[in-house]
Amino acid sequence: MNFEEKVSGGIIPEHIAVIMDGNRRWAKLKNKPTKFGHREGALRVTDLVKNCGDLGIKYLSIYAFSTENWKRDKKEIDYLMDLLVEFVVKELNNLHNNDVKITIMGNIEKLPEKTKKEVERSIKLTKNNKTLHLNIALSYGSRNEIVRAVKNIIHDYENNEIKIEEINEESFKKYLFTKDMPDPDLLIRTSGEIRLSNFLLYQLAYTEFYFTDVLWPDFNKEELLKAIESYQHRRRNYGN
């Protein structure tokens, strides 16, 4: 039995979340422009989706662009937005044919019109798919998500749509972007950074973390299997 067979025969996480970090450092190490790293990183997203589908993972949440990323150089932001459009145009039919459902969490109103249009097209086309739920964090920040949830609860309370005694952990989850998903079982962060960077702070309360020094453009199927193998050796007792 080889490594892949061993891992795929074990307990597979239902929901994996990934902080894809290291594109710029990868490009710098190769004396290439930053955009070279972002483009290679986009290819790894395609690989990741396929590999997760093959392994039977049901939910995949990826951190594509944070609210803080808007502070980057405008040329880099424009390139990332164009790259997202290119990704959708190139991969959407393939994702749809493989029964992948695409959702977005974040403030898509801030996106350039062309990017927003393609994002909305991908959501509409794949809304009824069921094999793998690809959840893309785009213009996303977890603190902002939590504040948004609180505001919506207050709105519903003032309109008599929810009572104080009905507000609890389960009802609160319904106001988050991930309302139709289980919390992540496993979080993977690449590039050696050991922090959450404002990603899914509420949802990761009992998630298992896996940090690797591998830069995102080098994160292949073997690295994914290593992360899942690590998860398979964890004992999850949720405080019991």
> In this predicted structure, what is the pLDDT of residue 84?
93
> In this predicted structure, what is the pLDDT of residue 192?
97
Q: Give burial (CB, 10 Å; 0-12/13-18/19+) of 204.
A: middle
> In this predicted structure, what is the pLDDT of residue 230?
98
Can you tell me the mean pLDDT for 149-163?
Answer: 98
How far is it, in rounded angstroms, from Cα 86 to Cα 115?
A: 9
Q: How many CA atoms lie within 13 A of 107 on its CB side?
A: 16
> In this predicted structure, what is the pLDDT of residue 40?
97
How far is it, in rounded angstroms, from Cα 208 to Cα 193?
A: 16
Tell me which residues are annotated as active site: 21, 69
Can you tell me the mean pLDDT for 23-27?
Answer: 97
> In this predicted structure, what is the pLDDT of residue 187?
98
Q: How many CA atoms lie within 13 A of 130 on its CB side?
A: 1
Work out the percent of the chain whose per-residue pLDDT is above 90.
97
Can you tell me the mean pLDDT for 18-37?
Answer: 97
pLDDT-derived band at 126 (thresholds 50, 70, 90) equals: very high
Q: How many CA atoms lie within 13 A of 159 on its CB side?
A: 7
Residues 43-88 pLDDT 10s: 999 999 999 999 999 999 999 999 999 999 999 999 999 999 999 9
Domains and CATH numbers, the chain: 3-143+184-229 (3.40.1180.10)
Give the type of residue at 96. H
pTM for this prediction: 0.96
Give the type of residue at 30. K
Can you tell me the mean pLDDT for 149-173?
Answer: 97
pLDDT of residue 238 exceeding 80, the answer is: no
